[in-house]
Amino acid sequence: MSKRPLNVETPLRRDEPIEKALRRFTKKVKKEGILDEVRERMYYEKPSDKKRRMAKRRKAVLQKLKRKQETT
């Protein structure tokens, strides 16, 4: 999570439909992680709970990588 403001701009290209520009904008927002950060900040989470959640996520990723290496 960054402390800097995030300004995502998607100028319309020449003869580009609004729907396509909206799709590009949505991709940029997802890539920057803006919505994820907003959801995280919606409610206060105790630091110990945050550490526990992150550790669980790390453990799951490591297990997935381990399973992938075993099959290869």
- 13-60 pLDDT, tens digit per residue, is 999 999 999 999 999 999 998 898 889 899 999 999 999 999 999 999
pLDDT band at 3, cuts 50/70/90? low
Q: Tell me if 6 sits within 8 A of 28, measured CB to CB.
A: no
Q: HSE on the CB side for 49, CA within 13 Å?
A: 5
Same domain, 5 and 18: yes
What range defines the domain where residue 64 resides? 45-72
Residue 1, pLDDT > 60, answer: no
> In terms of domains, do 49 and 36 share one?
no
pLDDT for res 72 = 79
Same domain, yes or no: 7 and 28: yes
Q: How far from 51 is each of 5, 24, 34, 48, 57, CA to CA, in Å?
A: 25, 33, 21, 5, 10
Residues 13 and 27 in one domain: yes
pLDDT in tens, 19-32: 999 999 999 999 99
Same domain, 19 and 34: yes
Res 61: pLDDT: 96
Whether residue 11 is found in the same domain as residue 31: yes
Q: Which residue is it, tokens 């799709």?
A: 23
The span from the CA of 19 to the CA of 40, in Å, is: 28
Domain count, the chain: 2
Q: Are 35 and 29 in contact (CB under 8 A)?
A: yes
